[in-house]
Structure 1
């Protein structure tokens, strides 16, 4: 079974077992719904712990979660820097032209002229549209490609290939 990142626990919040999570999912309400099962991968590399979400709320730029059976600060303090992951069985079907982060990260980006630009290493959520960080193979500085119709011309998830129109100034 495959697991996919949905967030990172960066700190605790208060004294009642709440943790602060920086989300890496577009589906926070679905992933952190009360009763959702997540795998908690601690930073020390120990065996993942299965947790069930007991509560979820937004606070500033964080998702605040509590887990069933972990009701005190001392219970969750050891979860700092842990990664929360969701099982592939909980992934839902997406609309046309929508993709999961794990489908996009690792794709090769090339121009409509066939020039290889690099590999997508990160997705930055800006609010308006996602921006893909593309790392070139020659060790040059990263490029930032907006996921908009004028730039992204085709996405082939099966072959991990994305074709873009290189607009003036895009790769400078």
Structure 2
């Protein structure tokens, strides 16, 4: 399984018991969706390795307590601390309406209500306080904040997102 075919679920943050159990911090608003998994991929030195889950349960709302097969000691659990957890993309819950996953909209066209066709989404920059659409317009990069108030419509069928940005925002990039 390749990382690009998976989504990041969270990270193992600490040991839970002397029997090899660990606690994972999940990167989701709905941790209960991942309470009954049979297996998960763990990133070990750049390789996604499948681990089979013997038992799991939510712990203090946003942590998932995991007991893996073949991880039976504290030393075994120590090797997993700070490793990242992944699941196949097809296990993501389907989103509807104007909600979307970042990976899902790469390649979509962006159209502004006032400006018209802006360009194609090449990436999402989520390293800033506000996530940004990275858009290619004939070789020029345009950044548009992913603000709920700006997003008018997500049209999955036509791979298009309609936005209504403040006047002059797009013009800043096109001189």
Could you say whether these structures have the same fold, taking a TM-score greater than 0.5 normalized by the shorter chain as the test?
yes
State the Cα RMSD in Å: 3.6
Per-residue deviation, 1:30: 0.8
Per-residue deviation, 1:42: 1.3
Cα deviation 1:35-61 (Å, max 9, x = unaligned): 3134223141335213325222236xx
Per-residue deviation, 1:13: 4.1
Identify the residue that residue 150 of structure 2 maps to in structure 1: 151
Cα deviation 1:108-145 (Å, max 9, x = unaligned): 43322212274441569x9xxxx6421243356x5422
Between the aligned partners of 2:5 and 2:45, the Cα distance in structure 1 is 18
Q: Write the mapping of 1:73-88 to structure 2, written as runs, cut at 5 A.
A: 73-79=74-80, 80-86=82-88, 88=90
Between the aligned partners of 2:75 and 2:102, the Cα distance in structure 1 is 33
In the superposition, relative to structure 1, how do residues 115 and 96 fare at CA in structure 2: closer, same or farther (>3 Å)? closer
Identify the residue that residue 67 of structure 1 maps to in structure 2: 67
> Any conservation in 2 of the 1:103–1:157 contact (CA below 8 Å)?
no
Task: Count how many residue pairs are aligned between Structure 1 and Structure 2.
Answer: 158
> Any conservation in 2 of the 1:55–1:67 contact (CA below 8 Å)?
no
Between the aligned partners of 1:169 and 1:63, the Cα distance in structure 2 is 44
> Is 2:119 aligned against 1:116?
yes
> Any conservation in 2 of the 1:108–1:119 contact (CA below 8 Å)?
no
Per-residue deviation, 1:71: 5.0
Between the aligned partners of 2:169 and 2:15, the Cα distance in structure 1 is 41
Between the aligned partners of 2:74 and 2:109, the Cα distance in structure 1 is 43
> Any conservation in 1 of the 2:108–2:120 contact (CA below 8 Å)?
no
Between the aligned partners of 1:109 and 1:132, the Cα distance in structure 2 is 15
What residue ranges of structure 1 are gaps of 5+ in the alignment?
none
Identify the residue that residue 164 of structure 1 maps to in structure 2: 163
Question: Is the partner of 1:48 in helix, strand or coil?
Answer: strand
Per-residue deviation, 1:164: 0.5
Q: Write the mapping of 1:2-21 to structure 2, written as runs, cut at 5 A.
A: 3-9=5-11, 11-16=13-18, 17-21=21-25
Between the aligned partners of 1:45 and 1:107, the Cα distance in structure 2 is 29
> Any conservation in 2 of the 1:120–1:132 contact (CA below 8 Å)?
no
Identify the residue that residue 30 of structure 1 maps to in structure 2: 33
